[in-house]
Structure 1
Amino acid sequence: MDVLLPPHLPKVYGEVMSEMPRDLYIPPDALEIILESFEGPLDLLLYLIRRANINVLDIPMAPLTVQYLAYVEAMRKHNLELAAEYLLMAAMLIEIKSRMLLPRIPRVDEGEAEDPRAELVRRLVEYERMKAAAAKLEELPQAGRDFEWVTVWIADKVVKRQPEVSLHDLQVAWLSLMKQVKIHQHHKIHREELSVREHMSLILRRLQGGGHMLFEQLFDLTLGAPGLVVSFLAMLELAREAMVEITQSEALAPIYVRLPDAVTL
């Protein structure tokens, strides 16, 4: 006759274990109890009340105090740091429980004895309202969690910036001048002293009338290559000292030179 074994008996390698092995060692911390996380003593009390389906206006203090103290003791045994408010609430529950056992003295003005649970009920009702309001606020869309802010920058005034004159543009203009000077070059042999400061003054006098002048118009092609070199050095020195402005409307466009507004001769 087959013997039916209880369905809860464990099996190891296909063999049923009817009793616990004698040499089995279970560490003390092998069984870990996970408690609910509460935001405070009122949250714990509200959890116990709702779990037991108790009316918050008529709280049975004896079983509630026992369950609360059991939770506090469990947290203490598992080395959890208890806040002072948990211990204060435990003392308050014990006091209310003790007052419930004593005969109530009616008030002279109202003729009705004060309920020791009144203050606790008031705090629980207010906490439940605040918790419900916080849950509704949490359901609202939040920036960074449900959506992201999009920022659009609108400029009040758009200023068209002229392209800056690069060194390559000056090099191309210089090579163009060198090609032209070869055409107008006169074969003269003489020695003359050329001054960069003097050519700087000549360029400033040509620009004194105001307005823009073409880059090429500021050079005297009859001076030959040495004169053009000195004039070009004078132009670079004026630009370095911010005594002239060199502009260009677009890439590969003609280069213009003019006096800044702050420069007066």
Structure 2
Amino acid sequence: MTQESASSGADAPASLSSMPEVVDHVAVARLYGEPLFAMPQDLYIPPDALEVFLEAFEGPLDLLLYLIRKQNFNILDIPMLSVTKQYLVYVEQIRKRNLELAAEYLLMAAMLIEIKSRMLLPPKKTADGQEAEDPRAELVRRLIEYEQIKLAAARLNAIPQHGRDFLKAEVYMEQALQPRFPDVNADDLREAWRDILKRAKLVQHHKITREELSVREHMSIVLKKLQGRRFVGFEELFDPRSGTPVLVVTFIALLELAKETLIEITQAEAFAPIYVRLAYSTT
């Protein structure tokens, strides 16, 4: 239903003129933060500005159901005259202001008038001699179905919904206090070895010599370098000035020591420096 507040555009100037222009040098109003010491004379209030909608309906069936339930009518025996009159009063009010909105309601009004006119005529029997169906039967079925769907929708809406009624709690849990270093794979060792070879080529000597190198001897040299030290950088175990043969033997010695689990080769994260330490040293 709609009602208009008891006020109009014609009453606005009379009420505004009675207000004082300045009260003890205090502004009578503020507009966009600026004080107004006098009411504007050309103030216009649209006639529809004071209109109040007391009830909002979702369609003609919603309005009909409201009229029936409000007056405790039996939905299976609707008093068509009373309901139709009340319905037309509401439709007439919205038709004056919103014809597009009233179109759907006007269609239902025509249906109500048709049902009322059919009820005034004598009932006709069907071809098989049975009584004709009540003209209100189809309308009653539609109203009952609509009410069931509306109640079901209200029950679904009452169920707590994520994002509207509650939010999921999110808690961060640290799985491990000790950092876990990634394992060093063959590709990482190969890339580190290539970098050492590149550096060795920059400082290599062009002196041809024949030298017999022992892997076991260089294994001992590596172990001595690791003695008493917690971690040693992978590059620190190689001396580029000693030449490529020595570098190769040293690298093989490292692999042999790792194979025999005498040393450990670790890396903090991907692409991080590689470190070597004794397998039995404390961490």
The two structures have a TM-score, normalised by structure 1, of 0.51
Deviations 1:225-262 (A, max 9, x none): xx9xxx9xxxxxxxxxxxxxx96459xx98349xxxxx
Q: Counterpart in 1 of 2:59?
A: 40
Q: Counterpart in 2 of 1:204?
A: none
Q: Counterpart in 2 of 1:148?
A: 167
Aligned residue identity for 2:161 = Q
C-alpha displacement at 1:39, in angstroms? Answer: 1.0
DSSP 3-state at the match of 1:143: coil
Aligned residue identity for 1:216 = E
- Runs of 4+ in structure 1 deviating by more than 6 angstroms, as ranges, are 151-154
Deviations 1:51-93 (A, max 9, x none): 1221101111112111111111111223364164322211111
Residue 111 (structure 2) pairs with residue 92 (structure 1): yes
Deviations 1:197-222 (A, max 9, x none): 749xxxxxxxxx9xx984322026xx
Q: Counterpart in 2 of 1:123?
A: 142
Q: 1:218 to 1:117 in 2, by over 3 A?
A: same
Contact 1:107 1:114 in 2 (8 A): no
Higher mean alpha-carbon deviation, 128-137 vs 79-88, is at 79-88
Contact 1:215 1:256 in 2 (8 A): no
Contact 2:88 2:109 in 1 (8 A): yes
Q: Counterpart in 1 of 2:239?
A: 219
- Separation in 2, partners of 1:82, 1:197: 91
Contact 2:60 2:104 in 1 (8 A): yes
Q: Counterpart in 1 of 2:180?
A: 160
Q: 1:33 to 1:148 in 2, by over 3 A?
A: closer
Q: Counterpart in 2 of 1:10?
A: none
Q: Counterpart in 1 of 2:98?
A: 79
Task: Count how many residue pairs are aligned between Structure 1 and Structure 2.
Answer: 173
Aligned residue identity for 1:131 = K
C-alpha displacement at 1:100, in angstroms? Answer: 1.2
Q: Counterpart in 2 of 1:57?
A: 76
Residue 88 (structure 2) pairs with residue 69 (structure 1): yes
- Separation in 2, partners of 1:46, 1:59: 11
DSSP 3-state at the match of 1:255: strand
DSSP 3-state at the match of 1:50: helix
Structure 2: gaps spanning 5 or more residues: 1-10, 16-44, 174-178, 184-199, 206-217, 219-231, 248-264, 278-283
Q: Counterpart in 1 of 2:202?
A: 196
Percent identical pairs in the alignment equals 59
- Separation in 2, partners of 1:102, 1:43: 28
Contact 2:76 2:140 in 1 (8 A): yes
The two structures have a TM-score, normalised by structure 2, of 0.49
Residue 270 (structure 2) pairs with residue 255 (structure 1): no
- Separation in 2, partners of 1:141, 1:63: 40
- Separation in 2, partners of 1:153, 1:109: 76
